[in-house]
Amino acid sequence: MKLPRLALFALFALWGMAVHATVWQPGHGLKQQPVWPGPPPGAQALPGPESVTQVTSELVAGKPWQAIHNVSRPTYTVYPPKGKNTGAAVVVFPGGGFEILAIDLEGSEVCDWLTSRGITCVLLKYRVPGLPYDWHCDCRAHNFAIPTPALQDAQRTIRLVRQHASAWHIDTHRIGVLGFSAGGYLVAQASTNYDLPVYKPLDAADTLSARPDFAIAVYPGHLAAPDGFNRNVPVNRRTPPTFIVMAEDDHVDGVEQAQAYYNALKEADVPVEMHLYAHGGHAFGLRPTRLPITHWPALVETWLVTEGVLSP
């Protein structure tokens, strides 16, 4: 499989881009909170300090975007709903090949959309780069292994949202996940490995469920394996209702990734809705263009009503 555009984010900074060697901040008076009370489980040294890069070589909808490198201390940022609070919440996983995070294109901009619909958005800055280091290299025998640090951060964050549900005015039965590309794979992981003990419990939050109540996977990757379906995504009847969107001309992960997940969900009798578009490529986020696929958020809003997450 070819190295995807999102996995090349770290290289773009070397090509004369505008580089800002600072730690990303969410802005708007928002504050990042640590996912872990101390050092994360299995903490390891990274190639360098955390930094954010403004990428201008690969514009999306005519605009640059930001890539975060070397996240060793994961955080979450709560974006409160604007207007009427629906009581629903979504934890967002940006993509980036498990090497970087597309933090605005597939993160803060998503939160702006969700909060405008009365949904609390929790943006997870999970650890990257994560093992396997070169996620898209077919030469590695463990190419389909679970990138444990990201799943640890995801499970812990979902539990923290449940722990703070009362204070944040969230319904504990309407907490979902949404992710793009590698983050879409993390959505599938969180939806199927919620009972997998990937870290030792630390406090009261870890007594709560890590299972999402609904899931949205946007151009997900790493789900179709050479022998069929990725065995590290154990779909079962308790996998939450799932929405999938992807372009048939996605030459990064390939439309077979979405199709494989859809088939596995159907076989397990999990409610699933999938939308495939002829054009759109990869890493389009939710910035509107002339392509119909970029209007997928409206489809998600309708789906959330049909699934009972939102009121009509």
Helix/strand/coil (H, E, C) string of the chain? CCCCCHHHHHHHCCCCCEEECCCCCCCCCCCEEECCCCCCCCCCCCCCCCEEEEEEEEEECCEEEEEEECECCCEEEEECCCCCCCCCEEEEECCCCCCEEECHHHHHHHHHHHHHCCCEEEEEECCECCCCCCCCCCCCCCCCCCCHHHHHHHHHHHHHHHHCCCCCCCCCCCEEEEEECHHHHHHHHHHHCCCCCCCCCCCHHHHCCCCCCEEEEECCCCCEECCEECCCCCCCCCCCCEEEEEECCCCCCCHHHHHHHHHHHHHCCCCEEEEEECCCCCCCCCCCCCCHHHHHHHHHHHHHHHCCCCCC
Instruction: Examine the pLDDT at 258 and tell me if it is beyond 50.
Output: yes
pLDDT value of residue 9:
40
Q: What is the pLDDT of residue 43?
A: 85
pLDDT digits (tens, 9 = 90+) for 62-90: 999 999 999 999 999 999 999 899 999 99
Lowest mean pLDDT among 23-27, 82-86, 106-110, 243-247: 23-27
Please indicate, yes or no, if residue 312 is contained in any of the structural domains.
Answer: no
Higher pLDDT, 263 or 23: 263
**Does 97 fall in a domain?**
yes
Tens-place pLDDT, residues 84-100: 999 999 999 999 999 99
CATH for 170: 3.40.50.1820
Total number of domains constituting the chain: 1
Q: Please give the model's pTM, rounded to 2 decimal places.
A: 0.90
Average pLDDT score over the chain: 89
Full residue range of the structural domain in which residue 215 is found: 6-306
Please compute the mean of the pLDDT values over residues 155-162 and round it to a whole number: 98
- Report yes or no on 281 lying in a domain: yes
Q: Give a yes or no: residue 1 inside a domain.
A: no
Q: Is residue 211 part of a domain?
A: yes
Q: What is the average pLDDT across 29-33?
A: 96
On whether residue 255 sits in a domain, the answer given is yes
- pLDDT surpassing 80 at residue 1: no
Q: How much is the average pLDDT of 290-300? A: 97
pLDDT in tens, 37-68: 999 998 888 888 999 999 999 999 999 999 99
Kindly state whether residue 33 falls inside one of the protein's structural domains: yes
**Is residue 285 situated within a structural domain?**
yes
Lowest mean pLDDT among 5-9, 23-27, 52-56, 59-63: 5-9
